[in-house]
C-alpha cells in the first residue's frame, strides 16, 4: 500500500500544482487561505497596485493575541519554468518520484512555506488554538518580481492594522549543500546603477562630424571594473560590482551611434551605505580623464542597505532546533543575494532558514521529501522553544 504524503509534503505538492509565476496568484494563496482558515487563523487577502507595475495579490494570516508576536514570511510566486519540455517531470505537476518532489518553486520557496505552515498548524492544534502569544504569516506574490506591490506594502498594511512583530523567519533556501548548513542572519545591500553616454550620431566615414559614445562608455566601465571597494570584514564578504548589460541599440554597421548605456549592480557590505556608495561611484566616474562626450549616472529606486540581526533569543532558538533535528550547528551567514528580509528588518529582528538551494530557478527544481519533513520538524521545535521562553 502506498503511504500517504506527510502534511508538509502534501501541502508542498499542492502548492507546486498552482502555476503562480510572478505576478499570477495561480491558486496558491487561495489554497493557503483555505488551510489556514480551517485551523482558526484570521486570513486577509489584499491586492496592492502601482501605476507602473502589475497588481499583486498578498496574504496575511494571524492567530492568537498579545506578545510575543512571531511571523513566518515567504512568497508563493515563482520564476518562469523555461523550456517545459526540458523538465524530467512537468514543472507544475508536483510529481513525487523516488522520494523527490519535482516542480517550480520546490525549494524557492513553496517547499519552505509548506514546511512552516505544517509546523504552525501542528503547533496551533497542540494548543487547541489558545496560543501563548500571536503567530502570523506574511505571504507575498511579488518577491521574484519588482518587489513593489508585495512585502513592503503588506508590512505597511499590517502596521496600520496595529500589528507589532517581535521576530520573523523567512523560509528562503539558505543551505548550500545540506539541511542545517546555514542560517542567514543578515544580507549585503544592493545598488543598481545606469551609466549613459551621449555623443553625436554620424557616418563612420566622417568621424570628425560625430562623437562616438562607445569609447567613453568603455573607459567609464573600465574604471568601475578596476574599483576595489573593500576587503570585507568579520561579518560580511567583500563588496562586488558586476556589469550586467551594455546597450547601444545600433543595427547599422556604418553609423556612429548617438548613445551608449550600461547597467551594473553592486552587492555591498556594512562598510558602505547606499548614500556613501553612490558618492564613491559618482566620484570614480568623475575622475576618469579624457572623455569627450556627456555622461550621466542614475540609480534605481529599489536600492537597499545591508543589515545584520543581533537578536540572540531568535538566533539561538533556531540554531538549537536545527542542531537537534540535523545533528549540525548551522553557520551564521550573510552571503548570497537579497530577499524580502531586507524589508522586514525595518519592523522586527529577522533571520532566514529554509531548504537546500542547489536547484532553485533551475530546470528540474526539486527537493527530497525527507528534507521537507525535517524542515517542518525544525520549525515546529523552534515554535515550542520560542514561545515557551517568552
Q: Are residues 156 and 238 in the same domain?
A: no
- 69's CB contacts (< 8 A; 6+ apart) are 133, 134, 135, 136, 163, 164, 165, 166
Q: Treating both helix axes as pointing N-terminal to C-terminal, what angle do 7-16 and 369-389 enclose, rounded to 10 degrees?
A: 120
Active-site positions?
A: 77, 143
Q: What is the CATH number of the domain that holds 262?
A: 3.30.70.360
Q: Are residues 143 and 124 in the same domain?
A: yes
Query: Strand (E) positions, 103-253?
Result: 134-140, 167-170, 182-184, 186-187, 189-198, 202-203, 240-247
Q: Are residues 279 and 365 in the same domain?
A: no
Q: Are residues 82 and 194 in the same domain?
A: no
Inside any domain, residue 1: no
pLDDT of the residue at 17: 98
Query: pLDDT tens across 189-246, in order?
Result: 999 999 999 999 999 999 999 999 999 999 999 999 999 999 999 999 999 999 999 9
Q: Is the pLDDT of residue 1 over 80?
A: no
* Alpha carbon distances (Å) from 58 to 122, 298, 306, 367: 23, 31, 25, 25
Which three three-digit cell numbers place residue 377? 520538524
pLDDT of the residue at 147: 86
Inside any domain, residue 314: yes
pLDDT of the residue at 352: 97
Last residue of a domain, one of 299, 318, 340: 299
Say how many domains are in the chain. 2
Q: Are residues 52 and 100 in the same domain?
A: yes
337 — pLDDT class (breaks 50, 70, 90): confident
Q: Are residues 352 and 205 in the same domain?
A: no
Query: pLDDT tens across 67-116, in order?
Result: 999 999 999 999 999 999 999 999 999 999 999 999 999 999 999 999 99
Query: pLDDT tens across 106-164, in order?
Result: 999 999 999 999 999 999 999 998 999 999 999 999 999 888 899 999 999 999 999 99
Last residue of a domain, one of 299, 318, 333: 299
pLDDT of the residue at 214: 98
* Alpha carbon distances (Å) from 162 to 66, 155, 157, 165, 227: 11, 11, 9, 10, 46
Last residue of a domain, one of 251, 267, 299: 299
Domain around 100: 7-187+306-389
Q: Are residues 48 and 173 in the same domain?
A: yes
Q: Are residues 34 and 183 in the same domain?
A: yes
pLDDT of the residue at 272: 97
Query: pLDDT tens across 268-326, in order?
Result: 999 999 999 999 999 999 999 999 999 999 999 878 899 999 999 999 999 999 999 99
Q: Are residues 340 and 362 in the same domain?
A: yes
Query: pLDDT tens across 352-374, in order?
Result: 999 999 999 999 999 999 999 99
Read off the pLDDT of each residue in 328-348 and give the average, rounded to a whole number. Answer: 92
Q: Are residues 160 and 28 in the same domain?
A: yes
Which stretch of DSSP H or E encloses residue 249? none
Cα 182 from chain centroid (whole Å): 16
Q: What is the CATH number of the domain that holds 96?
A: 3.40.630.10
pLDDT of the residue at 53: 85
pLDDT of the residue at 52: 82
2 — pLDDT class (breaks 50, 70, 90): low
Amino acid at each position: 500500500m502506498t503511504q500517504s504524503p506527510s502534511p508538509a509534503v502534501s501541502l508542498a505538492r499542492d502548492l507546486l500544482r498552482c502555476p503562480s509565476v510572478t505576478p499570477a496568484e495561480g491558486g496558491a494563496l487561495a489554497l493557503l487561505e483555505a488551510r489556514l482558515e480551517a485551523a482558526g487563523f484570521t486570513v486577509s487577502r489584499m491586492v496592492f497596485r502601482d501605476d507602473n507595475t502589475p497588481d499583486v495579490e498578498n496574504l496575511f494570516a494571524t492567530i492568537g493575541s498579545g506578545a510575543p508576536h512571531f511571523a513566518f514570511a515567504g512568497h508563493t510566486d515563482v520564476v518562469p519554468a523555461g523550456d517545459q519540455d526540458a523538465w524530467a517531470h512537468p514543472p507544475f505537476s508536483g510529481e513525487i518520484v523516488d522520494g523527490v518532489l519535482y516542480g517550480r518553486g520546490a525549494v524557492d520557496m513553496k517547499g519552505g512555506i509548506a514546511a512552516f505552515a505544517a509546523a504552525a498548524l501542528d503547533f496551533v492544534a497542540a494548543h487547541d488554538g489558545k496560543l501563548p502569544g500571536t503567530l502570523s504569516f506574511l505571504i507575498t506574490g511579488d518577491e521574484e518580481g519588482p518587489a513593489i506591490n508585495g512585502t513592503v506594502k503588506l508590512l505597511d498594511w499590517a502596521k496600520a492594522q496595529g500589528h507589532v512583530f517581535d521576530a520573523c523567519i523567512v523560509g528562503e533556501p539558505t543551505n548550500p549543500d545540506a539541511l542545517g548548513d546555514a542560517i542567514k542572519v543578515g544580507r549585503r545591500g544592493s545598488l543598481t546603477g545606469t551609466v549613459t553616454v551621449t555623443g553625436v550620431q554620424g557616418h563612420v566615414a566622417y568621424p570628425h562630424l560625430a562623437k562616438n559614445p562607445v569609447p567613453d562608455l568603455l573607459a567609464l566601465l573600465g574604471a568601475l571594473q578596476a574599483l576595489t571597494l573593500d576587503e570585507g570584514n568579520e561579518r560580511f564578504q567583500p563588496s562586488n560590482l558586476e556589469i550586467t548589460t551594455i546597450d547601444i541599440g545600433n543595427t547599422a554597421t556604418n553609423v556612429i551611434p548617438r548613445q551608449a548605456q550600461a547597467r551594473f549592480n553592486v552587492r555591498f557590505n556594512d562598510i558602505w551605505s547606499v548614500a556613501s556608495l553612490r558618492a564613491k561611484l559618482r566620484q570614480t566616474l568623475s575622475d576618469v580623464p579624457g572623455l569627450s562626450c556627456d555622461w550621466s549616472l542614475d540609480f534605481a529606486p529599489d536600492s537597499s542597505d545591508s543589515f545584520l540581526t543581533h537578536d540572540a533569543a531568535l538566533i539561538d532558538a533556531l540554531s538549537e532546533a536545527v542542531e537537534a533535528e540535523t545533528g549540525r550547528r548551522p553557520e551564521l551567514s550573510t552571503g548570497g543575494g537579497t530577499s524580502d528580509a531586507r524589508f522586514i528588518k525595518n519592523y522586527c529582528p529577522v533571520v532566514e532558514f529554509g531548504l537546500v538551494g542547489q536547484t532553485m530557478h533551475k530546470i528540474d527544481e526539486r527537493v527530497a521529501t525527507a528534507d521537507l519533513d525535517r524542515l517542518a520538524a525544525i520549525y515546529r521545535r523552534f515554535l515550542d522553544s520560542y514561545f515557551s521562553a517568552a
